[in-house]
Structure 1
Amino acid sequence: MRAVLLAWAAGIWLLQQSADLPAGRAAWAVAGVAVLAACAVLASALAFRSGAFRGRWAAWRWLPCVLLSACLGFGWAAWRGHARLADALAPAWEQRDITVTGVVASLPVHGPGGSRFHFDVTAVAPSRAGVPKRLQLSWSRPTPALVRAGERWRFVVRLKRPHGFANWHGFDAEYWLLTQGIRATGQVRGKAMPLPERLQGDPGGWRYALAVWRDKLRTSMKAAMPADARYGGVLLALALGDRAEIAPADWQTFQRTGVTHLLAISGLHVTLVAGLAALAGAGCWRRSCGTRGAWPLRVPTPRVAALVGCAAALGYGALSGFGIPARRAVCMVAIFALAFGANRSVGVSYVLAWALAIIVAIDPWAVDTAGLWLSFGAVAVLVYAARGRRDGEGESLEVISGWRYRLRRHLGSAARAQFAVTLGMIPLSLAWFGQVSLVGPLANAVAIPVMALLVTPLSLGGLMLPSPLADVLLRLAHALVAWLAVWLEWLSAWPHAVWRAAIPPAWATGLALTGVAWCLAPRSAFPWERLRWLGAGLFVPALTASSPRVPAGEFRVTMIDIGQGNAVLVETAGHQLLYDAGPPLGEHSDAGERVIVPFLRAHGVTRLDRLVVSHAHADHYGGARAVIAAYPGVATATSLPPDHAVRQAAATHRTCLDGQRWRWDGVDFAFLHPETATLASPDVGPNGRSCVLRISNGRHAALLAGDIERPQEAALIAKRAGRRSLAADILLAPHHGSLTSSTPGFIRAVAPRYVVFQAGFHNRFAHPRPAVVSRYQGIGSRTFISAADGAVRFETRGETLNAVAYRSAARRYWMIR
């Protein structure tokens, strides 16, 4: 049965790896295989009844069932995918004013610049506008009205289809929006007519009632906490699953120490609440025996305790917003309660398999999320490590009694469980995040009991109880978190607190998982105890993974997708250079922190040799300080003014000037612009001072042109007339494809085979301009636009130049065409 349930989940997972949803012949092929498998199931059942299967052949009767289950899972996920993609925003209505009426369907996130929330649409004007049922809206203005969950509003909005940065090993925002059922995002037009209007009336429905309840609890909890409560966001996360108010610096500390799993309502918290509720329910039920009804004599106390625990788990999961770990725990508690009520004994592995099958049936997109893999992986490791272990194993023959024995046994069990989870999570942590917290065992040894046994119950008490008792409980919970944070910050400050590596390939992750199974194998399965540690050797490929190295004399150029701005990674055999660092992304983040540094680490870039910031516009230097903080020793070359913050943050700095050259691993680098006179001229703006970098190995060349405009292009052509020092196979289009650049003379002088326009999706400048794109296409250049193609990578191999775009190489069915 477990194999059948896992096959169902595997079929759903396989569909999520598809570039296109099956239709036509593909759908009929899947249906045909399912029919054949069903026939095989029937035939095998009849043959088994007749005695045809015996002995070693008996297990084979499950193979048709496994095949049928996988086909049904694939078909179910495809049907759900078609239904969700059909609820789409018509491209013709992007970036146009539309009036929508509906309900705020989530806990709004409020910040200094406005609010962000999910919005369920009930009416649209004009009625012919194709608007999805659920939107994600942002309302940005200096003093936005406080939008509350469950309220009905009428807005004028401008929408666009789901779109995010598309980079290798990067966060897939489009998939995340798909999992949330959000098929369009947009902005509330605060100054448009009619003005935003809050409507009267109750929207009805249990989902909105639950959202209203959670919003009211959050408001009352925030009111009960001190105004200067730094870790109030942690208490909100533990009580309501709302992590939006955890400070970025604190979040980084929690990540480095490996305790982020405790900052949401996880399976541990749900199970704890269910257990406490079951104990309380059993105690109350037993004490009702003396009443007139004598209820314990009619319904056994254990069944009542199981029912109360199940109800508590369900309520707490609903309170948290039903994240994947909470769903898993609720399903497992419910299955155990049902089995107990039916007087059935059920193994944990069966319960885990059923919980997985139920969750991915309800939400097929959860199968490809880190939360599901880490949550189910941790429980699976615990179940596997506990196989064959008996209570008292390893104890001496003398009888040990009393509290010392119980304490020793419990501490030993907790240590073994922590060791198993730590070891078992290494492959999954590397596969999803490219890092492992080396101080995680020490951090969790203190954080788990403090957060689970003390802070969480106190937070829930502060959430449910009236003031002033709630105030006292929340202050005590906050004091415990503040004390714990001191311990975590001390651990996080260790120089080697985190082991980082590139995201390993699938085969290396598979080897590491095999190593986990080897190291944690029960003695009955692996009798040579000392040889179990040989399994640790299988971790080495995953722990030391890095992106494929560039041969000497060759180079690789990756145009990173960071929206409206520039960011280019240039790699040789032993050196790495980053050209520009993208734009700011909101008030508290930037492309360096959110995109570029994770991209570099995911590809195993442990040392950055040079950072070039082309000029003083925010879409080029916005993430530079985050890059410098991540790689403190990086040498920096810019055309920025002396008092610029990026220059002040750099360890070493030089001004890029025409004529500067260097050679790395057989590859030549040269700045072609600006000149000293250009930097000194008050008539030249930041664009005209852009650092223009050319990379060449004698066979191929790349030209990174920054934001130079017509005068600078003309100067470059005039200075290099009769020479091919401007010619390049790869060109980063000047000024993102603006009409102020890419003159016909410049295009002829460079004569690129490939041109990349790094521009944001539906950016306000309308870059790249169609006329500019046509100019390049007119000379036979192949054009890439990051908004449509994602990151673009070029790699030289002798006389060959390979080009690949992320959205083509890693195509998935939910990506917009």
Structure 2
Amino acid sequence: MDGRLFSFIAASISALFWLSLPALAILPIILTLAILLWRLPGRNSTLLTIKSVSCCFVLGIFWMASVGHWQQTWQLPARDFTQGVWVKGQVKSLIDDENSARFNLKISRIEDRKLIKDVLIRLSWKQPTWPLKQGQLVQLWVKLKPPHGLANQGGFHYQQWLFSQSIVATGYVKANQNNSLVKSDYSVRQRLLDGIVALKLDTTPWIAALSLGHRGLLAPDDWSLVQRTGIAHLIAISGLHLALVGSLCYLLIASVLLFCYRVLIKGQNANFYFISVGITLIATLGYAYLAGFGLPALRAWLMLALTGLLVFSCTHWGFRRILLVGVSAFIVLFPLSLFGQSFWLSFGAVSIIGFVFWRWPVRHQGFSIKTWFASMCRLQLALSLLMLPLVAWQFSFVSVAAPVINLLAVPIVTLVIVPMCLLGVIMMLLSIPYWQDVFTLVDVGLQFLLDKLSLMGSWSGAAFSIQAIPGIVWICFTIAALIFLLPRGLISRLLALILCVPLLTYGLNPVKRDWQINVMDVGQGLSVVVLKDNKALVYDVGAAYPSGFNMADSVLLPFLRSNGLREISALVVSHFDNDHSGSLPALRKTMVVKSLFTTKDLCRQNWQLTWQGLSVKALWPDDPSLYSDNNSSCVLRVSDGDFSLLLTGDIDASVEAKLIARYGTALQSNVLIAPHHGSNTSSSMVFIDTVKPDFVVFSQGFMNRWGFPKTAVAERYQQTDAQLYRTSKHGQVQISIDDSGAQVSTFRQNIYPYWYANRSID
């Protein structure tokens, strides 16, 4: 059975590496093959095993391919994205800000169309007409877009996350007097959150996370602390908390039943095992509801329910089979969660915990502080070591202090803070007085813990970011770590040392490149990173928004850190429009910028810089005070003598004419970043003919309101032999230059081309 389960899981996981879904017409063939394999006669046990394992593998392929096509079936038609539409549905997200909201809406109707199946969309709404709450039934006038996200190396794959959450569109609510609240019922979770927020405690964001699994109130500084200290698993309702609640609930119920039977009834001893387990499953399901039935809580409850089922049926399974059945069941019930990071973090942690207790079983009879402390230390060290490859691969970040910090934080949070939070929630639900006092005590305890965590996290060596390292290197390191932890004699330690060589070699010999141009996908804006000999020159930094979201934190910093860079050696800001310079404060706050150049100082006509052997020359402006912001953009030409890049900012055709008059054929460049994102006011035909680019990149937002690049502009470039790229379509555009010439790679087509993270757009 274990082999068949493993085969099904392996086949399902293979969907992560598909470049495209198998054609719909092939699915019946795949299913037929599975049936034939199942019906194939087997003459011996080996053949039977091969037959059943192969059948389960094919079924895994069929299941994930079917899920992919099923999900695509529920995508909204293109007509729903061309203009505003009326939608009707129920608010599914907790709302913590009455002035601005970002929420999921499960819609049942679009315009006058009743949907066959309710679908989930994600909306933002600035200054809602009424206090928006989870559970409300609303009718709204919205502007929708297909699921889409910024696509850059090192960055968060938002489009993949939307897919894993079954979200079929994103958008915003438009002001309209007919936006209406159809039904005003609040959910229980929303009432609990409102009560916690109303207390206005210093640690309210953390209390909301620990009590309700709602992390929306946590500020960027809070997330930075979480990352540096490695306590992400503690700040939301997850398997650790569910296991704690289940244990406490079982002990309480069993004790109460035993007391009633022995003291009140005074009868013979009775076995209340089954009753206690059943009530515990119901109670922990209620606790999972407090987390909004989030996938981490559901995964933990599913494993708990499976264990309960085995208890009821008096069946014994080993840990390996329980884990395989649990993973298989979750893939069948929630297949899209396979594409989310939390799936791997959760089941990775459970697997490691099982390995630790197999490797170092607890044989001490009764409770022992020494045994408990030794087990905790082993568990934390093993989790930190074996989870390091997965965390480092996904986030390019390592917390050195996490094992020590968790030895302090885990007991306090799980044994004190979480039970107190749960007590406060129960008292609030039952309207028992003094629940406010319980949360006040929680606030005091959390403040003490956060102060200590901040102190430990402030140590300069507590955590550090690392360059992006291929997954196969981390797999080798994981196998090596497992070999070191296995009992001596099972596998030679020499093999473990050999498997560590790729990581050591990769770390000691950073990737060298002649030079590389990266046009980042920053939506409607611009940011270009030139890399040479592990140094970075950045031209523009993209936008920042009132919500706090900015391109420095979401795009530039993850990209630079994934390339092993800790500073920017030269930063040029073309002009001070938000879409080109808005993220500058956030960038300078987090990363060292050795030299900054703008049109207010050196970045003017005739200024030159020799950087890493490249010639950087400013061609414009002559006097920025004489022109508009766009036309005063600092125009740069970067060249190695043979290959060149022309960066044009937001200039229009009038400045293009001045550049042609002054420089003529000296403007010719291999790569051109199209002026003003492809506006009709720029990219004149004479300018294109003078520059003669081989590659043209339009940096513009997906379905932007201005329609950039304009059709006429694209057609002008198409009249040449230039290759055209759009960040909205291709994501990050990477051009690597070496002795053999230029090689172009795009994020969506070459770097991360998987079917679930991209879709045909533009």
TM-score (norm 2): 0.93
Residue 411 of structure 1 corresponds to which residue in structure 2?
373
* 2:61 counterpart residue number: 74
Aligned amino acid, residue 123 of structure 2: L
Q: Secondary structure at the match of 2:85?
A: strand
Is the CA contact (8 Å cut-off) linking 1:690 and 1:706 kept in structure 2?
A: yes
Aligned to 2:671: 730
Question: Which of 583, 596, 607 lines up with 1:636 in the alignment?
Answer: 596
Instruction: Write the letter of the residue equivalent to 2:341.
Output: A
- SS for the counterpart of 2:667 is coil
2: CA distance, partners of 1:81 / 1:336: 31
Match of 1:513 in 2: 478
Partner of 1:383: 354
> Do the aligned partners of 2:479 and 2:499 also contact (CA within 8 Å) in 1?
no
Counting only pairs closer than 5 Å after superposition, residues 177-326 of structure 1 correspond to structure 2 as 177-190=162-175, 192-193=176-177, 195-200=178-183, 212-223=187-198, 225=199, 227=200, 229-290=201-262, 300-326=271-297
Aligned to 2:449: 484
Checking the alignment, whether the CA contact within 8 Å between 2:570 and 2:593 is kept in structure 1 is no
- Superposed counterparts of 1:5-404, under 5 Å: 5-24=5-24, 26-27=26-27, 30-31=30-31, 33-40=33-40, 43-44=41-42, 46-48=43-45, 61-110=48-97, 112=99, 114-127=100-113, 133-141=119-127, 144-190=129-175, 192-193=176-177, 195-200=178-183, 212-223=187-198, 225=199, 227=200, 229-290=201-262, 300-391=271-362
Aligned to 1:52: none
Cα displacement (A) at 1:764:
2.2
Shift of 1:790: 1.0
Distance in 2, matches of 1:749 and 1:32, equals: 60
2:537 corresponds to which letter in structure 1?
A: L
| 537 and 710 in structure 1: CA distance in 2 versus 1, 3 angstrom threshold | same
In structure 2, the partner of 1:674 is 621
Equivalent in 456, 460, 463 of residue 498 of structure 1: 463
Quote the offset at 1:776 in angstroms: 0.8
Closer/same/farther in 2, CA of residues 574 and 156 from structure 1, 3 Å limit: closer
Is 2:606 aligned against 1:659? Answer: yes
Distance 2:336 2:30 in 1: 20
5+ residue gaps in structure 1?
49-57, 203-210, 394-400, 641-653
CA shift, 1:28, in A, is 5.0
Q: CA deviation at 1:274?
A: 0.3
Which AA in structure 2 matches 1:64? K
Matched with 1:447 is 409
Q: Which residue of 2 aligns with 1:561?
A: 521
Q: 1:67 to 1:246 in 2, by over 3 A?
A: same
- Which position in structure 2 is the counterpart of 1:598? 558
- For residues 626 and 296 of structure 1, what CA distance do their matches in structure 2 show? 70
Once the 2 structures are TM-superposed, how far is the Cα of residue 703 of structure 1 from its aligned partner? Answer: 0.8
Deviation at 1:575, TM superposition (A): 2.3
In the alignment, what sits opposite 1:802? 743
Answer whether contact 2:164 2:338 (CA < 8 A) is retained.
Answer: no
CA apart distance, 1:61:
4.4
* Superposed CA RMSD: 2.6
Distance 1:157 1:770, change over 3 A: same
SS of match in other structure, 2:337 = helix
Letter in 1 for 2:195: S
The residue aligned with 2:638 is: 695
Q: 1:788 aligns to what SS in structure 2?
A: helix
- Equivalent residues of 1:385, 1:521 under 8 A apart: no
The gaps in structure 2 that reach 5 residues or longer are none
Q: Partners of 1:805 and 1:296 in 2: how far apart? A: 74
For 1:296 and 1:563, how far apart are their aligned partners in 2?
72
1:769 paired to 2:710? yes
Superposed CA offset, 1:505-553 (max 9, x none): 1220111111221122134735x8x879858945834982887421xxx
User: Which amino acid letter does the alignment assign opposite residue 6 of structure 1?
Assistant: F
Are 1:435 and 2:397 an aligned pair? yes
Q: Which amino acid aligns with 2:425?
A: L
Distance 1:348 1:413 in 2: 18
What is the TM-score normalised by the length of structure 1? 0.87
2:646 maps to a residue whose letter is L
Change (3 A) 1:32 1:295: farther
Counterparts of 1:252 and 1:371 in 2: how far apart (Å)? Answer: 18
Which residue type is aligned with residue 512 of structure 2? R
Aligned partners of 1:128 and 1:16: how far apart in 2? Answer: 33
Corresponding pairs, count: 755
Change (3 A) 1:581 1:222: same
Q: Give matches, 1:518-533, under 5 Å.
A: 518-523=483-488, 525=490
**SS of aligned partner of 1:288:** helix
Matched, 1:570 2:555: no
SS at match of 1:451: helix
Take 1:743 and 1:125, find their aligned partners in 2: how far apart are those partners? 42
**Contact 1:430–1:542 (8 Å) recurs in 2:** no
The 3-state SS of whatever aligns with 2:568 is: coil
Match of 2:754 in 1: 812
State the distance in 1 between where 2:63 and 2:171 align: 30
Comparing 268-277 with 666-675, which one deviates more in the overlay? 666-675
Give the residue type in structure 2 aligned to 1:632: V
Alpha-carbon contact 1:108-1:118 (below 8 Å) kept: no
Cα deviation code 1:626-649 (max 9, x no counterpart): 222232243111124xxxxxxxxx
Amino acid aligned to 1:603 = N
Q: Aligned-pair distance for 1:125?
A: 2.0
Report the secondary structure of 1:745's partner residue.
helix
